Structure 1
Amino acid sequence: MEKLAIIDMGSNSIRFVVMQIADNKSYSLQYQEKETIRLGHGLSQTGVISEEGIEKAMTCLHVYKHIMEVMDIKKCCAVATAAVRNASNGEEFLKRINEETGITMSVITGEREAYLGYLGVINTIAMKDFLIFDLGGASVEMTLVRNGEAVHSLSVPIGAVTLTEKFGTQGNPDEDAIASLTKFVRKKLGDVDWIQDINLPIVGIGGTARNFAKMDQRATNYELPKLHNYIMSVDHFDTLYYEITTRSSANRKKIPGLSSERSDLIVAGAAVIKTIFEMTGSPEMVVSGCGLREGLFYEHYADCCHLPSPRFSDILDFSVRNFLGTLSGVIINQAHYDQVTRIAVKLFDELQPLHGYGPRQRLLLQTAARMHDVGKIINFYDHARHSAFMIAHAPLYGLTQLEQIIT
Structure 2
Amino acid sequence: MAAILTPPRGTGRVIAFIDLGSNSLRLLVARINIQGVVKVLNEAKQMVRLGEGAFIHHHLQPEAMERTLETLRSFADMCQGYGVEEYIAVATAATRDAVNGEEFLAEIRRETGIDFTVISGKEEARLIWRGVASGFEKSDTLRLYLDIGGGSTEIAAASTDAYQVLDSLKIGCVRLANIFPCGEKSVSAKQYEAMQMYVRNEGVHAFRRLADLNIPQIVASSGTAQNLAQITELMNRNSGSNAPDTAQTLTYRGLCRCVKELCSRTRQERAEMPGLNIKRLDVIIPGAAILQTVLEELNFDTVSITSRGLRDGMVTEYVERSCPGALLAPDASIREKSVLGLGRSCRFEEGHSRHVAELTLSLFDSAREVGLHDFSMEVRELLRYAALLHDVGIFITFSNHNVHSHYLISNSELLGFTDREVRFIAALAFFHRAKPSKKHRIFNELEPSAREVVKVVSVFLTVAEALDKSHMSAVASARFARQKKKCVLEVLCKMAAPLERGRLMRCEDRLKKLCGNDMQIVFEEPPARHFIAGTGEMPAAE
List gaps (5 residues or longer) in structure 2.
Answer: 1-11, 239-244, 425-449, 455-542
Which has the higher mean CA deviation after the structures are superposed, 121-130 or 259-268? 121-130
| 1:319-346, Cα deviation, whole Å (9 max, x unpaired) | 43345467x27xx665654453343334
Do residues 267 (structure 1) and 285 (structure 2) align?
yes
Q: Could you report, residue by residue, the CA deviation over 1:230-276 in whole angstroms, capped at 9, with x for unpaired residues?
A: 22222222221222222222222233221011121100000000000
Q: Given that residues 37 and 414 in structure 2 are in contact (C-alpha distance below 8 angstroms), is that contact kept between their aligned partners in structure 1?
A: no
**Number of aligned residue pairs:** 399
Q: Is the counterpart of residue 174 in structure 1 residue 188 in structure 2?
A: yes
Superimposed CA distance per residue, residues 53-112 of structure 1 (whole angstroms, 9 cap, x where no aligned partner): 111111111112112211111100111100010111111111111112111111111111
Supply the distance in 1 between the matched residues of 2:308 and 2:160 (Cα, whole angstroms): 20
> Following superposition of structure 1 onto structure 2, how do residues 221-300 of structure 1 map, counting pairs within 5 Å?
230-300=248-318
Alignment of structure 1 residues 5-20 onto 2, 5 Å: 5-20=16-31
Contact 2:18 2:89 in 1 (8 A): yes
The answer as to whether partners of 2:92 and 2:120 remain within 8 angstroms in 1 is yes
- Higher RCO (Cα < 8 Å, 6 or more apart): 1
Distance 1:161 1:351, change over 3 A: closer
Unaligned runs of at least 5 residues, structure 1:
none
Residue-by-residue CA offset, 1:116-169 (whole Å, 9 max, x unaligned): 001001111236322111111111111112475210111111111111111112
Q: Take 1:288 and 1:310, find their aligned partners in 2: how far apart are those partners?
A: 26
User: Residues 73 and 400 (structure 1 numbering): CA distance in 2 closer, same or farther, change over 3 Å?
Assistant: closer
Further displaced range: 235-244 or 34-43: 235-244
Residues 232 and 358 of structure 1: CA distance in aligned 2, closer, same or farther (over 3 Å)? closer
Alignment equivalent of 2:162, drawn from 137, 149, 157: 149
**Partners of 1:177 and 1:394 in 2: CA distance:** 44
- Identity, % of aligned positions: 27
Aligned equivalents of 2:13 and 2:162: distance in 1?
30
| Greater Cα shift, 39-48 or 341-350 | 341-350
Deviation, 1:178, is 1.3
Give the distance between the partners of 2:231 and 2:369, measured in 1 at CA. Answer: 43
Distance across 2 between alignment mates of 1:296 and 1:74: 16
Once the two structures are TM-superposed, the CA of residue 287 in structure 1 deviates from its matched residue by 1.3
Larger-gyration structure (1/2): 2
Q: C-alpha separation between the residues in 2 aligned to 1:103 and 1:351?
A: 55
Q: Secondary structure, in 3 states, of the residue corresponding to 1:191?
A: helix
Residue 124 of structure 2 is aligned to residue 108 of structure 1: no
Write the mapping of 1:297-316 to structure 2, written as runs, cut at 5 A.
297-306=315-324, 313-316=332-335
Residue aligning to 1:43: 54
Change (3 A) 1:77 1:170: farther
TM-score, scaled relative to structure 1: 0.85
Q: Bigger shift: 368-377 or 101-110?
A: 368-377
Q: Any idea what the Cα deviations from partners look like across 1:8-58, whole Å, max 9, x if unmatched? A: 111111111112112543112221111111111111221100000111111
Two-structure CA RMSD over aligned residues (Å): 3.7
Match in the other structure for 1:210: 226
Q: Which residue of the partner structure matches residue 211 of structure 2?
A: 196
Q: CA contact under 8 A between 2:128 and 2:309: conserved in structure 1?
A: yes
Deviation at 1:362, TM superposition (A): 4.8
Counterpart pick for 2:41 among 5, 8, 30:
30
Q: Displacement of 1:374 after TM fit?
A: 6.8
Q: Is 1:187 aligned with 2:198?
A: no
Q: Match for 1:88 among 87, 99, 102?
A: 99
CA distance in 2, matches of 1:378, 1:242: 57
With 31-40 and 365-374 compared, the bigger mean Cα shift is at 365-374
TM-score for the superposition, normalised by structure 2: 0.65
